[in-house]
Amino acid sequence: MPYCRMCGSGTVIAYLPYAKMSLCQKCFLEFYVRRVKNTVEEFKMFREDDVVGVAVSGGKDSSALIHSLSKAFPKLELKALHINLGIPEYSDHCESRVRLLVKSLDIELYVFDVKKRLGFTIEDFMKTRFKRKICSICGTIKRHIFEEMALEANVRVLATGHNLDDIASVMLNTFFNGNWSQLTRIKPLLPPLAENMAYKVKPLIRSPEKENLLYCLYGELPIRSLGCPHASQTGIRKYMQLLERFSEEDPGFKYIILNRFLELIPMIENVFPKPELTRCRLCNFPSTNEICSYCKRILLVKQKDASA
């Protein structure tokens, strides 16, 4: 019978195969928080006197993120940022979970209601040529809104819940597709796109997806129980499955991928210099084009509305 590696108790709840380590509930929660703290310090993501905005979706990753940050850095000022995307049933459910969580942590919450603020919802893209790419549209829209919310909430740093599996699968995808420019997006610490904008950080870059879920379950955090109806099983999912298969052979495989790519990124950035940024003519945010991809998508959905 396994015993907890940390305290020796016999009530083990988690086995971490890459470290050949069994842990009891209390030691697992402590181990998880310590790893988040170490990751923040390793990549110098922020200082304890910063104000950090955390993008909280209601899912397991970002819920585990904001909770563990509040435990790892008790003096840090955290603000929760949530986007209500207007997806029927799903979005209100997510928002209600986020409200419960931040209330229990006594953290200020900022909600950006897409329908109220922009006059459309993510659902409206179903009427456009992007109807099979809702997830990727949603990603573009959210990235822009995060920047706006960071300005409104006056935070210098914006943390998201991207986990080890997300990052390692994007890295594999990049390798197989040669889409090197997207590698910069998944760096653990991204400098601001322009003055006054926020640093982006990913404190869960070393936290496997399964452990984020375990943290939420054993920490009894309120997380969403509904899945997004637009979640697609293609694209990046293929690489996640590949990662799982390799991990069965070598439980440390995701960490190997992550570490090798972290070494490679500076070299890749040297070979592929950053694209020149100008300002979007419509929203004035930094962009590689005259009109940024966010504004292009919004124009499209508004045109469809007008022609309906």
Which residues are at the interface with ligand AMP (CB under 6 A)? 55-57, 61-62, 81-83, 85, 139, 142, 160-162
Q: Which residues lie near ligand FES (CB under 6 A)?
A: 85, 122, 134-135, 138, 228, 230-231
Q: Output 213 or 282, the one with its CB closest to Zn ion.
A: 282
**Choosing among ligand FES, ligand AMP, Zn ion, none, which partner's interface includes residue 134 (Cβ < 5 to 8 Å by kind)?**
ligand FES
Of 24, 295, 298, 301, the one binding Zn ion by CB under 5 A: 295
Give the CB-nearest residue to ligand AMP: 161
Query: 211 in the Ramachandran plot: left (φ > 0), alpha (ψ -120 to 50) or beta?
Result: alpha
Q: Output 58 or 208, the one with its CB closest to ligand FES.
A: 58
**Choosing among Zn ion, ligand FES, ligand AMP, none, which partner's interface includes residue 230 (Cβ < 5 to 8 Å by kind)?**
ligand FES
Other C-beta atoms within 10 Å of 188: how many?
22
Closest to 140 (Cα-Cα) out of 286, 296, 277: 296
Residue 183 binds Zn ion (CB under 5 A): no
**Cβ of residue 292: shortest distance to Zn ion, in angstroms?**
3
Q: Output 57 or 173, the one with its CB closest to ligand AMP.
A: 57
69-77 own/partner pairs: CB under 8 Å, 24+ apart: 69/36, 69/40, 69/159, 69/203, 70/105, 70/107, 71/33, 72/33, 72/34, 72/36, 72/37, 72/40, 73/37, 73/40, 73/48, 75/48, 75/49, 76/46, 76/48, 76/50, 76/52, 77/50, 77/51, 77/52
Where does this chain bind Zn ion (CB under 5 A)?
A: 280, 282-283, 292, 295
